[in-house]
Amino acid sequence: MNDIITTTASDIREMRVRGAGKIARAGASALVSFAESYAGSDLEIFKSDVNKMAEVLLSSRPTAVSLWNGIRYTIKEVDSAEAFSTARESVILNGNAFVKSSEEAVQKIAKIGAKRISDGEILMTHCNSSAAISVLAEAVRQGKDIKVYATESRPWRQGILTVKDLHKAGVDVTLIIDSAVRSVMSKVDRVFVGADTITSSGSLINKIGTSQVAMAAHGAGVEFNVCSETYKFSPKTMFGDTVTIEERNIDEVVKPGEIPEGVKVFNPVFDSTPAGYIDNIITELGIMSPGSVYGVMVKQLGESVFEKGI
């Protein structure tokens, strides 16, 4: 097994590399390194090896479709290649192109999303999304005076990363525990969260607790914005696939011996927010409603997807 691939898969599985965008870029970059350092020259063996490496990377975390889309984009020309050099070159070119366009997408989302924010507004974010943080940081960069409430996001406490990121960007940020969301929502003007996956019907799969934040926002009449690159749209959901919600080890929630033996712990990592709770999806292509997601997917995939499938 290849070292770069196994190390990347383990980094993603153990959350040393995390965040839907970052894991997609890490997967694509690992395949680029694999192709660059590939010692053989047989086309058929290369095709089989690349597909195996892609499977190893995909098995690392199941929920964020960004990883699947990034890998699929990177290896899209391998199976049809007629020469080894063409196949290898395509992995390097497509993988690097994916990483570049994914980074550019976040910058575009920052510019578009920041326009939604007015001077003096109070905002909320959940977990640690580079796309959502880029929007908040850009608003401050434009000279807007904003305040942000950031949730702790148990059990991994990614909110600690968020408050550090926002503080560094010059944002006036307050950390709150997850159960304070509804109580604080009455002060908030808008919510910005990231995305792990968006389904063809416009539902959002994101960090556990996102749906509670959305319900609290809905109840308080607060705008709920999802910051998502379009490679977080899941084409597989168009054809009936459901999104697997990752469950992680119970020792992320309780210490050994802390609760009586026999008591169960349920530790789902993500939840689903129905489209009806989402006001805007802010993408690199512009702001859209959840109802527009299906059309964007069809446009990006081309009509032939209905004959060939995914």
Task: Name the residues that contact ligand RI2, by CB under 6 A.
Answer: 18-21, 127, 129-131, 158, 193-196, 206-207, 269
Q: Name residues whose C-beta falls within 8 Å of residue 123's C-beta, 6 or more positions apart in sequence.
A: 117, 136, 146, 147, 148, 149, 188, 189, 190, 191, 192
In angstroms, the CA 67 to CA 26 distance is 9
Shortest distance in whole angstroms from residue 306 CB to ligand RI2: 29
Question: Which residue, 158 or 283, is less far from ligand RI2 as judged by CB?
Answer: 158
In angstroms, the CA 295 to CA 98 distance is 22
- Eight-state DSSP code of residue 8: H
Number of Cβ within 10 Å of residue 196's Cβ equals: 29
Active site residues: 127, 196
Shortest distance in whole angstroms from residue 203 CB to ligand RI2: 14
Asked if residues 75 and 49 have their Cβ atoms less than 8 Å apart, the reply is: no
In angstroms, the CA 53 to CA 1 distance is 8
Question: Which residue, 200 or 206, is less far from ligand RI2 as judged by CB?
Answer: 206
Closest CA to 99 of 154, 148, 28: 28
Shortest distance in whole angstroms from residue 19 CB to ligand RI2: 3
Question: Which residue, 190 or 207, is less far from ligand RI2 as judged by CB?
Answer: 207
Q: Name residues whose C-beta falls within 8 Å of residue 83's C-beta, 6 or more positions apart in sequence.
A: 43
Shortest distance in whole angstroms from residue 23 CB to ligand RI2: 6
Collapsed DSSP state (helix, strand, coil) of residue 122: strand
- Eight-state DSSP code of residue 247: B
Q: What are phi and psi of 217, to 5 degrees?
A: -65, -45
Shortest distance in whole angstroms from residue 288 CB to ligand RI2: 17
Question: Which residue, 21 or 27, is less far from ligand RI2 as judged by CB?
Answer: 21
Question: Which residue, 23 or 50, is less far from ligand RI2 as judged by CB?
Answer: 23
In angstroms, the CA 310 to CA 299 distance is 14
